[in-house]
Amino acid sequence: MITGQWQVSGPDKPVQSLLGKDTVFSCYLSPETNVETMEVRFFKDQFSAVVHLYRDGEDQKYMQEPAYRRRTVLVKDFMADGHVSLAMRNITLSDAGLYGCWFCSQSYHQVAPWELQVLGQFLAPEIS
């Protein structure tokens, strides 16, 4: 790795969430690098399908795909340590699929992919 560069890591196994519940995706840089001035993009399937975008120190909500509007919150508490989390509310079946978190500084960028699996809520059969 060249000096000044970092690696992006995301969930190392598929994230499972129950239908209708909330879930959180976390991504971080190694070594720890402040991401407050970087662009941080969470996307689904393709880079242009924006789930959440943080750029110029602000959330860019107008860039989100309509299906994710008012359903995502970027947790920024540990951005100085290179760690961000995306909370997504009310998981739907259409949320299942491949995601990525992309970090971009002025001189370097990298992405980490992962998968979201949506599990149905099934009631146990009643025997009478």
Count of domains forming the chain: 1
44-81 per-position pLDDT tens digit: 999 999 999 999 999 999 999 999 999 999 999 999 99
Q: Residue 115: helix, strand or coil by DSSP? A: strand
- Distance separating alpha carbons of residues 68 and 93, to the nearest angstrom: 13
3-46 per-position pLDDT tens digit: 468 999 999 999 999 999 999 999 999 999 999 999 999 999 99
Asked whether residue 1 is assigned to any structural domain, the reply reads no
- Distance separating alpha carbons of residues 34 and 21, to the nearest angstrom: 31
Asked whether residue 108 is assigned to any structural domain, the reply reads yes
Residue 58 phi, psi (nearest 5): -140, 155
Q: Residue 28: helix, strand or coil by DSSP? A: strand
Asked whether residue 44 is assigned to any structural domain, the reply reads yes
- How large a percentage of the chain has pLDDT more than 70? 91
Question: Which CATH number does the domain housing residue 11 bear?
Answer: 2.60.40.10
Asked whether residue 15 is assigned to any structural domain, the reply reads yes
Residue 39, CB-side half-sphere exposure with 13 Å CA sphere = 16
Report pTM: 0.89
